[in-house]
A and B are shown apart, each in its own frame.
Chain A
Amino acid sequence: MTKKILTEHINVPGIETFDVYRQQGGYTAVEKALKTMTPDEIVEEVKKAGVRGRGGAGFPMGMKWSFLAKPEGVPRYLVCNADESEPGTFKDHYLMKHIPHLLIEGMIVSSFALGANKSFIYVRGELMYVIRILEKAIAEAKAKGFLGKNILGSGYDLELVVQPGGGAYICGEETALLESLEGKRGNPRNKPPFPAVKGLYQCPTVVNNVESIATTSWIINNGGDAYAAIGIGRSTGTKLISASGHMRKPGVYEIELGLPVEDFIYADEWCGGIRPGHKFKALVAGGSSVPILPANLALTLANGEKRLMSYESLSDGGFATGTMLGSGGFILFDETSCIVKNTWNFSRFYHHESCGQCSPCREGTGWMEKVLHRIEHGHGHQHDIDLLVDVSKKIEGNTICPLGDAAAWPVASAIRHFRDEFQWHIDHPTEATQPGAVYRGEMALV
Chain B
Amino acid sequence: MPDLLRLRRTYADRGMRLILVSGDFASDADQAAAFLRELGVDFPTYRKQGDDMEFINALDPKWSGALPASFIYDAHGQLQKSIYGKAPYDQLNEQMTALLEPAATPRR
A binds B: no
